[in-house]
Amino acid sequence: MHSGFVVHLYNHMSSCVQEKALTDQNGVLQKFMEAEKEKNKALMNAQLREQQNGASTSSPSLSPPIVPDSMPTLNIGPCQHRGAAESESEPSPAPAQANRGNLPPWMLRTVK
């Protein structure tokens, strides 16, 4: 009976230590998140002030780079978005024929 009490006490102490460690880790993470929020807020305020002052964007921008519309797209498979009038007037070509012009050269060998 005595050994059962020791095991129970050990398990209780172990869970208390784990709970304390998790609480401490949670506090550290919470402080980190608050610091990141403040940093982001400061960056956004600085960028807003820069835009309001009409300053040039010599510092890196937070907005994603603009991708030109002329980039080729790769349409694979029969599901291609088309207008209703276009799909009614023309029969749909076979997927291999439809994609041949959009595939990179290294993939054309496997389609032929």
4-31 tens-digit pLDDT? 888 888 888 888 888 888 899 999 999 9
Give how far the C-alpha of residue 57 lies from the chain's centroid of Cα atoms, to the nearest Å.
25
Convert the pLDDT of each residue in 66-88 to its tens digit: 655 555 666 666 655 555 444 45
**pTM, 2 dp:** 0.37
Q: Are 45 and 62 in contact (CB under 8 A)?
A: no
* Cβ atoms of residues 111 and 99 within 8 Å: yes
Distance CA 10, CA 31 (A): 32
Instruction: Tell me: pLDDT of 64 over 70.
Output: no
Distance CA 74, CA 71 (A): 10
